[in-house]
Amino acid sequence: MERSKKVEFIANTLQELYPDTHTFLEYQKDYELLFATILSAQATDKSVNEATSRLFKECPRLEDYNQENKALILDCIKKVGLGKSKCEYLIKTADILLKDYRGELPRDRKALMALPGVGYKTSGVVLAELYDDPFIPVDTHVFRVSHRLGLVNDKLTPEETEVALERLFKGKHSIHLHRQFILLGRNICLARNEKCDLCPLKEVCKYYSKKK
Ligand code: SF4
């Protein structure tokens, strides 16, 4: 199948499978999405949502993320893993946001990536979720699914994969696609025991065609 037709087929099929998607992390304020995304590194969304349901109540203002509240913050987030580092990231990031950005989030990927604990993927998630900026952030599911489908070259890094996906799916609803790839990766294209027989994308999948 021609590449552009394959891309269209994948976008349409994902839309049929997952017509309505919502952010996986719970938050009310913009900086809370940033904090939840920082906490989600190497953690499940479920564990992050459990932690933040208490954290955001205990620390309702950006000013509450400070060294005096360190033990409290640590206690709230201890189950997500890497608690000590993530606690420091939240406190330092809150301090920078208050001092340099009047408590607002900068709408700029480089500026976000300069914040402690914020990498390429996290900055893309925040900007795409909050402002619909055209990013398709690549987590482990998006990486696996897009590589198995043969959408991008096997040797690309996650960052290069994101750029390639954004080029291929230009004009599509980026954050919606990001979530659809994740849902496919969680429900069908699992890391182990992928359910190819149930997958509506198998006719265009490179991995499946090699496996047959
Ligand atoms: S056919 Fe299999 S490997 Fe390909 S996308 Fe579907 S589940 Fe993943």
Sequence-distant (6+) residues with CB within 8 A of 39 are 48, 51, 52, 77, 80, 86, 90
Domains in the chain: boundaries:
3-21+135-211, 30-131
Tokens 């390429």 locate to 120
Which pLDDT belongs to residue 211?
A: 80
Check if 127 has its Cβ closer than 6 Å to any atom of ligand 1. Answer: no
Q: Is the dihedral of CA 110, 162, 116, 26 positive or negative?
A: positive
Q: 24-35, pLDDT tens digit by residue?
A: 999 999 999 999
**Which is the catalytic residue, given 30, 121, 155, 210?**
121
Residue type, 153: N
The model's confidence at residue 85, banded by pLDDT at 50, 70 and 90, is: very high
Question: What is the model's pLDDT at position 165?
Answer: 97
- CA 101 to chain CA centroid, Å, is 23
**How confident is the model over 93-146, as pLDDT tens digits?**
999 999 999 999 999 999 999 999 999 999 999 999 999 999 999 999 999 999
Question: What crossing angle do the helices spanning 158-168 and 140-149 adopt, rounded to 10°?
Answer: 60
pTM of the predicted structure, to 2 decimals: 0.93
**Residue partners of 103: CB distance under 8 A and separation at least 6:** 31, 62, 97
Q: Of the listed 108, 139, 197, 210, which one is catalytic? A: 139
Confidence of residue 3 (pLDDT cuts 50, 70, 90): confident
Question: Considering only the top CATH level, what class is 3-21+135-211?
Answer: mainly alpha
121 as an active site residue: the answer is yes
Q: What's the rounded mean pLDDT across residues 159-166?
A: 97
Domains 3-21+135-211 and 30-131 share a fold: no
Domain 30-131: what homologous superfamily? Answer: Hypothetical protein; domain 2 (1.10.340.30)
Q: How confident is the model at residue 1 (pLDDT cuts 50, 70, 90)?
A: confident
Instruction: Calculate what percentage of the chain has a pLDDT beyond 90.
Output: 96
Q: Following CA atoms 83, 88, 91, 97 in sequence, which dihedral angle do they give, to the nearest 10 degrees?
A: -120
Angle at 145 between CA 151 and CA 37, to 5 degrees: 115
Q: Is the CB of 142 under 6 A from ligand 1?
A: no
Closest C-alpha residue for ligand 1 atom 8: 189
Distance from residue 112's CA to the centre of ligand 1 (Å): 34
Cβ-based neighbours of 104, under 8 Å, separated by 6 or more: 30, 97
Per-residue confidence (pLDDT) for residue 187, from 0 to 100? 97
**DSSP-derived secondary structure letter, 204:** G
Both tokens of 17, joined, read 């499978």
pLDDT, tens digit (0-9, with 9 covering 90-100), for 164-173 = 999 999 999 9
Are the beta carbons of 127 and 168 closer than 8 angstroms?
Answer: no
Q: Residue 170 has which token pair?
A: 């230009």
Amino acid (1-letter code) at residue 190? L
- pLDDT value at 212 more than 80: no
Q: Give the pLDDT band (50/70/90) at residue 55.
A: very high
